[in-house]
Structure 1
């Protein structure tokens, strides 16, 4: 399939995208995610001629298609949940104007889900293909991670339909993420009458926040960012409890382990205060080596299709591709929509790129299912590129 051949189906692509974007699916609302899953299931059943397996884990609905009698060799991976709350369609309505598509969750990543289904539908032979669309990626995939890793094990390649980086670049390297909650327990007291009898959890938390930020290493690309804060009850009470969420991003596993070790070693500064650490490593880094060969093959296929030369990017955000790369499975990310504004008011997709990227995804999936791997020359070049990143 070439981009020119799929262009006539653009109206169908847009209609399917609209149906999915118009079904709001905030990650924390399992009923909404279930409704969205049914929209995805109906699209897939129509395009693929097969109903998906509906997998519900603690109320969250995921979908899986498997084709052929043997083990899966290629996994198309995506998610249908979004960060957008109910009512977002009223303030950010679905629209297609002047070649730009807008709507909550369009870029991240409902367009990618539709692309995956259309690309798979155009395959002459789907044997060995698996498609997994999960429902909790935006909150760290706490329920779908085992499912993702089980599906990826034994595969020869995982193609992730997350949105592209700036300018349509594929994501060949991603930071690993760790998520923590630091909770401080103190003792309440009247802040005017007898503050000395209290143990100020807010002050203790301030000490902890300063220590946390000191764990960052900008030269290595390691960030440790305190984010959502909470604490206290009234303006005239010494706070007995306080807490902060902490977002950690790293390029390599050794750094992830170092920061985890040091956060867990936190001790209180104020006498009598208690510090508790919750959470931990969420996703391992996606290293360049995991994507190098697949990026080289995708670049070769893009040239054959007459598409613009592919570019690549290393990004701070993580995805479910981090899990699969962490297993040692070759993983290429950012194959979905081209546009920008993920999670923001200006979230959008460039319409002209949708059929082009769908054609590339189809060609890459077909080549991998046919047993195609990069040539020796291409593979060596890919290793060289990986080593230079």
Structure 2
């Protein structure tokens, strides 16, 4: 039986696993929900690995109250890191409005595309290899399932970076892109800032001239942000949420705006950071305070290209005629892995669409092919040592 045949035979089991995980809602910022999700994820993954003859127990790594799960398979050197997450963006109660369903070959449910089905595919890809070749067939694989990716991986970042630094390759099971499931070979880096304008309050009717209007100062800064962006380089500097003042009859002493920065290269990310730190006030008596920093370094194509070329070579064996690649603006935990020098390939998860949207869905016809591709890629990487 080929790996593709094996993946096809597992489809019903993968759907059942996805259903169980989707129906355990897991919003990132709900500690109780995330704890329950970790418990269930541990049980589901553990059962599939045990069925395949893998006795490895999970490690539950709780960092600042957030549970992350790690399975280190075999005793050999760490070779291939599989990165997933079990948290989602959907609040408790979403299932009442968007229940799990499978109709006309399409699976739906909150978190299915981002990234529950991807996690299920990763686990079954490993189990297939172990079932076919014994535990030694996955010796050197680490499966990491974190619990706070959707809110910036604030507690898991160091864990991901440490794991990536000791592995030869990282495969990220975030959802693919487009109708044919393009792999993500480049992701923009992300920096998050808050620009704060500090002025001086006064009564806006009795003596407005005694104040320094932080709102007006902030408006100058928002306009200045536009000049820092560089469309040709793919660099965006986007003011988003803003707050000004305290009451309707007070010259505001404080105003703030969040700034979302996306860059294709480390050099651009550093340039924007330096430019933001050089912002100067326009109004006499005003001050500018910058909060924030680089959150994720870019996943540059150079880090992913050898892995993508390997996957493209293996794709026909998984029944995939043409495996496409794409660069995207969104970031993932793959940025952290690439940032410490680990070759990283992203987008190995589900094919579908609607991430974070009401029409989130997965096209089931692609699930066996994507699972087989993951198995083939893991096997190929384990067979070739000393890549780094």
2:173 equivalent among 161, 167, 171: 161
Which position in structure 1 is the counterpart of 2:280? 267
> TM-score, normalised to structure 2's length?
0.93
Q: Map 1:1-389; keep pairs closer than 5 Å.
A: 1-49=2-50, 50-124=56-130, 125-167=137-179, 168-371=181-384
Kindly state the Cα deviation for residue 218 of structure 1 after the two structures are TM-superposed: 0.2
- Tell me the distance in 2 between the aligned counterparts of 1:373 and 1:358: 25
Cα deviation, 1:314-357, whole Å, max 9, x if unaligned, reads 11111111111122211110000101111112211111111211
2:250 counterpart SS class: coil
Kindly state the Cα deviation for residue 176 of structure 1 after the two structures are TM-superposed: 0.9
- Tell me the distance in 1 between the aligned counterparts of 2:224 and 2:196: 14
- Tell me the distance in 1 between the aligned counterparts of 2:246 and 2:358: 33
How many residue pairs align between the two structures?
A: 374
Kindly state the Cα deviation for residue 112 of structure 1 after the two structures are TM-superposed: 0.9
Runs of 4+ in 1 over 3 A off after TM superposition: none
1:122 counterpart SS class: helix
- RMSD over aligned CA atoms reads 1.5
1:355 counterpart SS class: helix
- Tell me the distance in 2 between the aligned counterparts of 1:104 and 1:184: 39
Greater displacement, 249-258 / 21-30 = 21-30
Cα deviation, 1:29-67, whole Å, max 9, x if unaligned, reads 222211111111001110112331000110111100001
Greater displacement, 90-99 / 206-215 = 90-99
Gaps of 5+ in 2: 51-55, 131-136
- Tell me the distance in 1 between the aligned counterparts of 2:204 and 2:345: 56
2:379 counterpart SS class: helix
Kindly state the Cα deviation for residue 231 of structure 1 after the two structures are TM-superposed: 2.1
